[in-house]
Amino acid sequence: MSMIRYSVIPDKNPREILLLRGTGCAYKLCTFCDYHEDSSQDLASNFQVNKEAISKVTGKFGILEVINSGSFNELDEDTMNLLVETCARLHIHTIHFECHWLYRRFIPALRARFAAVNTRVVMKQGIETFDYEYRRDVMKKGINEPDPAKLAEGFEECCLLFGLPGQTYESMINDVETGLKYFNRVCINTMTANNAPLQPDPEVVRICKEEVIPRYLDNDRVDTLLENTDFGIGGEE
Ligand code: SF4
């Protein structure tokens, strides 16, 4: 069995999506995360995995999202070249990547690289919550910036993570509304059990699913994921 690395998201900002493999998150300290297990230091092997996934892209919507369980700069150079070539060949006008706050200095060069083939880069940051102390002390996210306006500099989209101990209906609504104020789009991820130290609180997950997410189902600027495989990638095939 191998991991599903290509999918199509047909509604809300229709796009193709790729889950690529990089060298892995260099940070690795977030207490809720074990995503960085999908990685390898073998660049040639990563490229082979990524090449197969990228070969499935058709350009049907002109929009491609790339995630890689970390930040875009952890992808190998052959993969990046193939993404640029694919965007040019299939006339993909917009490509989305993810990036941790720590690597924001690498974003302008990435934008320039894709602008050369007329592709706009949209950058997503995993902010998880706008509660600075919770993000720093409980999530250990490694973002040393409390000001949402500054967090949005150089980023168009943010991810939020709900369903964790201590979060409330009010805190989750405040996070979404803050995200919508400073970013073009917000992606709500619902925490699911994994191998990380910080695990979901079932009552907070219930509030998220039954009271928070329904408020945003019709909002085109909000993506909602109840499982981290809801975009159609990350499961086994
Ligand atoms: S959430 Fe992102 S930055 Fe944090 S450990 Fe996981 S992959 Fe790394």
Which tokens in the block code for residue 203? 């009552």
- Given a cut of 80, whether residue 237 has pLDDT beyond it is no
Residue-level pLDDT at 150: 97
Find the 72 Cα to ligand 1 centroid distance in Å.
12
Query: Quick check: 21 and 53 in contact, CB under 8 A?
Result: no
Reduce the secondary structure of 6-48 to three states and give it as a string: EEEECCCCCEEEEECCECCCCCCCCCCCCHHHCECCCHHHHHH
Residues lining ligand 1, judged by CB closer than 6 Å?
Answer: 25, 27-28, 30, 33, 35-36, 69-70, 100, 126
Find the 31 Cα to ligand 1 centroid distance in Å.
9
- Given a cut of 80, whether residue 1 has pLDDT beyond it is no
For residue 32, the ligand 1 atom closest to its alpha carbon is 1
Question: Which pLDDT band, with edges at 50, 70 and 90, does 217 fall under?
Answer: very high
For residue 34, the ligand 1 atom closest to its alpha carbon is 6
Model pLDDT for residues 69-79, shown as the tens digit of each residue: 889 999 999 99
Residue-level pLDDT at 36: 66
Cα gap 149→203, rounded to integer Å: 31
Find the 130 Cα to ligand 1 centroid distance in Å.
16
Model pLDDT for residues 2-58, shown as the tens digit of each residue: 889 999 998 888 999 999 999 998 888 999 998 767 899 999 999 999 999 999 999
Nearest CA to ligand 1 atom 4: 30
Residue-level pLDDT at 183: 98
Find the 49 Cα to ligand 1 centroid distance in Å.
21
For residue 25, the ligand 1 atom closest to its alpha carbon is 8
Nearest CA to ligand 1 atom 2: 70
> What is this structure's pTM?
0.94
Find the 179 Cα to ligand 1 centroid distance in Å.
19
Sketch out the chain's domains with CATH numbers.
6-225 (3.20.20.70)
How many Cβ atoms are within 10 Å of 125's Cβ, its own excluded? 23
Highest mean pLDDT among 21-30, 37-46, 99-108, 218-227: 99-108
For residue 70, the ligand 1 atom closest to its alpha carbon is 7
Find the 234 Cα to ligand 1 centroid distance in Å.
16
Find the 169 Cα to ligand 1 centroid distance in Å.
24
For residue 27, the ligand 1 atom closest to its alpha carbon is 8
Model pLDDT for residues 116-147, shown as the tens digit of each residue: 999 999 999 999 999 999 999 999 999 999 99
Judged by average pLDDT, the poorest of 2-6, 182-186, 197-201, 202-206 is 2-6
Question: Which pLDDT band, with edges at 50, 70 and 90, does 86 fall under?
Answer: very high
Which tokens in the block code for residue 188? 């709500």
Nearest CA to ligand 1 atom 5: 28
| CA angle, residues 124, 57, 161, in degrees to nearest 5 | 25
Instruction: Give the amino acid at 132.
Output: Y
Residue-level pLDDT at 80: 98
Give the number of C-alpha atoms closer than 13 A to the C-alpha of residue 49, restricted to the C-beta side: 22
